[in-house]
Amino acid sequence: MCRLIAITSDTPQSPMKALEALDVMREGHDGSGVGLFLRDLGGPLEEMKDEPILSGIFTEAGIRRLDSYMINMGFLTKYKISIKIPKVPPAGVPKRDMYLIRAYEYPEEWEDLVEAEKQQRLVNIRLALQEMGREQQDMIVFSFWPDTIMIKEIGDPLTVGKYLELGNEKLNARIIMAQGRQNTNYAINLYACHPFFIQGFSTMTNGENTAFVPIREYLSSRGEPGYTGFYSDSEVFVHILHYTATHLGLGVEAYKHVITPLQDADLESHPNGEFLTHLKRTCRKLIIDGPNCVIGVLPDNTMFMTQDRKKLRPGVVGGTHGTWVFSSEVCGLDYVLPGRDKYTDFQPMHLDTAVVRPDRREVKICRQMQRLPRLH
Amino acid sequence: MQANAKITPSTLSVKDHPWRIAWSRDKCSLCGQCTAVCPVNAIELGVFRKRIVDVEIHAAAQPGNVNKVYHGIRQRTDAAYHCIGCGMCAMVCPNDAIMPYHNDEADKLRFHLSQGGQAERRGGRRNAPAGILDQIKFTRISMLTDPALDAGRHEFEMRTLLGRLLPPEENMKRVREHGWIPPVREIYPLIIGGMSFGALSPPMWEGLQMGVAYLNEEMGMPVCISTGEGGCPPRLLRSRFLRYVILQIASGYFGWDEIIHAIPEMKVDPCAIEIKYGQGAKPGDGGLLMWHKVNDLIAAIRGVPKGVSLPSPPTHQTKYSIEEAVAKMIQSMYMAWGFRVPVYPKISATSTSLAVLNNLTRNPYAAGLAIDGEDGGTGAAYNVSLDHMGHPIASALRDCYLNLVRLGQQNEIPLFAGGGIGKNGNLAANAAALIMLGASGVQVGKYVMQAAAGCLGSETRRCNICNIGLCPKGITSQDPRLYRRLDAEDVAQRVVDMYVSFDTELRKIVAPLGRSTSLPIGMSDALGIADKAAADRLQIQYVV
């Protein structure tokens, strides 16, 4: 089992806070990896919300190849956050040449592009870079998207955080998702490390998706270049989220209806029963299975947590106006927000999706038996 | 044999027959029940002459011999009356004095069944007991990270869909615009496949229908049943139970006059329409109901004269090609029920199954594809078709599923697999294996006859005389003297037993795999097999 912590706060927080919370929950992860997703950035990158930021790990040769590739594409570096790393990495952490966080200016010819086209091109560039990296083993690219930083590394989360000096204020962010990994089913591969990301959507999961293979097969044929990789059975959660929002035009309330639909008896009495029956049938191949607690972020910075059909994994949401924490364990939440009113903590059950909108005023609980917002 | 009897090429001894009747003179009470019950008159009362050496204990008398006569059971050796091994003699014998046994080597009878130039015809399945389905294991057992589910206590969603599913985006669009959305039925993934009224006796058919109705209405299991090609009794057509029935139309169109005329009086729509193009047991050959079974009732329901054999043509004669047939017939059938009933074709598994499937993917109405493998059963077929024609279901189904995956339509055209599922009694395991190879559900026929009515047929040449109307259990007979042995209520009870236990076994398979929220269609990572070539072919794990 892995451990998850996600913070959404009006004031930018240090990623170290999340890593320290993971350390509190360390019984549940074995130090085989850590993943960080930062969004709604504070620090210097706050000034350049629209510029795409490339996050990844590069060798010396890889960075040269990256530069020539990006220059050819017409991208100019606008800002970079340097991560200074000691010569010798701590035990269990591989030696790398460079961790890159670099904001680019769009090429001039992109100016007139519609947003969708621009987004698609950003995805294609990320995929191309990942492919180049796989060929020469010289670059690992996590994300290339505005207002988004991702860092993943093998090792104990807190050790990695200190080693990379992630306490650097430049990395503070209003949305932080972090996962401490317990590597279970596959070889350690950074691309298999949560959170996963596609076009502004990100998810991380504590669990195991036993319906992975049929879902992967179905997603692979949706004609989305970004539905690829599949290094982890949890990666499909972010693709399904993306599919639900962008292909079906449905909100976060519908996500749970896609991944764990209601049974027929419940659908019969549901105010949106007919619509949901259609959704259940046509998206049958996207139904997940197994124990899973999913925490995710939408492009508008909405954060949510939802559970598998049987709620086989823990998960809790707590906080106050302006700051909410989603955690796989109560002790992680306690560490980040010790002073909160614990009686208002919420643990989503098998029908629930807990949602905190970008205004961070409240936790809204969407129950599957409730009426869906009016469809547009 | 008489001393002066002629030995012809087809003169056989008991040794030459596949089955040999062992009879005990000590136990036999000569009640005659065995000879009465034997469906093929393979045994008869025998009068045996026996010489006994008679030695007096007193030396005064000269030893001599006496000729005595005793009565017993004699196995006939004429090919026309060969023992079929059904074992009814053993079933009725009060003293367990009689039993058929397999002879110790391959019989010579098979060379002599062509008397009068008539090729052997029979019912049952391909005479080959083994099969790949029984070799497939479920290897992906959830252990530490992902605890196995509790088959007895957790909630399981084990239903499947029959009907054309639109891509989600298109479906959303049509919901918004109130466009036509193809009808879809949510059904139980174990379907009773097409066995016609005519092939089956009235109590068998009635029992199946009652069992299916009970499962739907009392057990909450949306089980459906195909009629096979033989029409449907008029009262069923006009009853609410029609919603559990898949009406099959095949190349003989038997019974369809009655069905079409009943449409205005139907209270509910049928579950679906199955257009039969082929059958696994005799691929490329049409249906066959031999004259023995065409009595008044069958003739009336089918709309044919009685006492004539009813061979359906191998193809739908009014159509030019299967592509055209599929397109036009699907369209016509949709139209007949106002586009409210799913219509799908059933074909025999073949190396050209993919061509049919590809055709269907471009037909926006095709509601699925049923594929029947070489181990499927039949009421009547030529032995050569049964034993030598056809394609195994596993690879045909897998190829079709993977083709749909490539096209991205694996949720849109459900595949239903049939043919030898549960052949060796492993119904749930075989069904689950096929589902994980990509089937949305499975069709069974023979298994239901065995489990629900005690069919004696086997793949080692036992019984298999469904074609001549002499079924000793009354399952496939139209003779009231035979079918009164079968009680429809008992059949219904056994159908329910069979389904309920299947459901438990299916959960016992999927629960350890960590699956419960949906039927694990295409979950090929769960499967393993200790045969490298089969593993490669089916794209599943090779495990030893």
Is residue B276 domain-resident?
yes
The structure tokens 């499909």 sit at A236
pLDDT tens string A6-38? 999 999 999 999 999 999 988 766 777 889 999
Q: Tell whether the model's pLDDT for residue B82 goes beyond 90.
A: yes
Question: Which residues numbered 279-318 in A keep a CB inside 8 Å of some CB on B?
Answer: 279, 281-285, 287-291, 308-310, 312
CATH code (residue B325): 3.20.20.70
Tell me, yes or no, if the pTM score tops 0.90.
yes
Split at pLDDT 50, 70, 90, the class of B317 is confident
Average pLDDT (B149-154) is 86
Q: Tell whether the model's pLDDT for residue B148 goes beyond 80.
A: no
Beta-strand runs (E) in A44-135: 52-58, 76-82, 98-105
Split at pLDDT 50, 70, 90, the class of B488 is very high
CB-based contact B146 A210, cutoff 8 Å: yes
Domain boundaries, chain A: 3-367
Average pLDDT (A229-245) is 94
| Per-residue pLDDT, B1 | 67
Q: Which domain holds residue B94?
A: 14-117
Mutation test of the interface with chain B: which of A217, A239, A256, A258, choosing the one with the most B Cβ atoms within 10 A? A217
Quick one: what percent of chain B has pLDDT higher than 90?
82
Task: State how beta strands B541-542 and B415-418 pair.
Answer: unpaired
Domain end call among B59, B93, B117:
B117
Q: Which residues 6+ apart lie within 8 Å of A254 measured at CB?
A: A244, A248, A279, A372
Is residue B67 domain-resident?
yes
Of B250, B258, B237, give the one whose Cα is nearest residue B303. B258
Q: Tell whether the model's pLDDT for residue A39 goes beyond 80.
A: yes
Average pLDDT (A235-260) is 96
A38, A176 Cβ separation under 8 angstroms: yes
Split at pLDDT 50, 70, 90, the class of A375 is low
| Per-residue pLDDT, A227 | 95
Average pLDDT (B327-355) is 93
Do B385 and B481 reside in the same domain of the chain?
A: yes
What is the secondary structure of B134-181 as a DSSP string? GG-EE-----SSSPPP-TTTS-----EEEEPPPPHHHHHHHHHHT---
Lowest mean pLDDT among A123-137, A331-345, B147-161, B429-443: B147-161
- Chain B residue numbers with beta carbons less than 8 Å from the beta carbon of A221 are 405-410
pLDDT tens string A57-73? 999 999 999 999 999 99
Phi, psi of B259 (to 5 degrees): -65, -45
State the nearest Cα–Cα gap between A291 and chain B, in angstroms. Answer: 6
| Higher local confidence (pLDDT), B301 or A316 | A316
Average pLDDT (B33-44) is 96
Do B108 and B214 reside in the same domain of the chain?
A: no
The beta-carbon neighbor of B518 closest among A218, A278, A284 is A284
| Per-residue pLDDT, B146 | 67
The span from the CA of B198 to the CA of B172, in Å, is 44
| Per-residue pLDDT, A132 | 95
Do B200 and B308 reside in the same domain of the chain?
A: yes
B331, B317 Cβ separation under 8 angstroms: no
Q: How far is CA B437 from CA A213, B410, B417, B524, in A?
A: 11, 12, 10, 6
CATH code (residue B42): 3.30.70
Quick one: what percent of chain B has pLDDT higher than 70?
98
pLDDT tens string B468-482? 999 999 999 999 999
Rounded (10°) CA dihedral B155, B156, B159, B164: 90
Question: Which residues numbered 164-183 in A keep a CB inside 8 Å of some CB on B?
Answer: 182
Q: Tell whether the model's pLDDT for residue B162 goes beyond 90.
A: yes
State the burial class of residue A339 (Cβ atoms within 10 Å of its Cβ: 0-12, 13-18, 19+).
exposed
Average pLDDT (A79-83) is 89
Do B283 and B170 reside in the same domain of the chain?
A: yes
Q: Kindly provide the ipTM of the predicted complex, given to two decimals.
A: 0.93
The beta-carbon neighbor of A213 closest among B407, B517, B523 is B523
Domain end call among B117, B143, B167:
B117
Domain end call among B51, B85, B117:
B117
Split at pLDDT 50, 70, 90, the class of B204 is very high
The structure tokens 């449905």 sit at A250
Homologous superfamily in CATH for domain A3-367: Aminohydrolase, N-terminal nucleophile (Ntn) domain (3.60.20.10)
Is residue B184 domain-resident?
yes
Q: Tell whether the model's pLDDT for residue A83 goes beyond 60.
A: yes
Torsion sign over Cα A83, A86, A87, A89: negative
Q: Tell whether the model's pLDDT for residue A376 goes beyond 70.
A: no
Mean pLDDT of chain B: 93
Split at pLDDT 50, 70, 90, the class of B383 is very high
pLDDT tens string A188-231? 678 888 999 999 999 999 888 999 999 999 999 999 999 998 88
State the burial class of residue A220 (Cβ atoms within 10 Å of its Cβ: 0-12, 13-18, 19+).
middle
| Per-residue pLDDT, B413 | 96
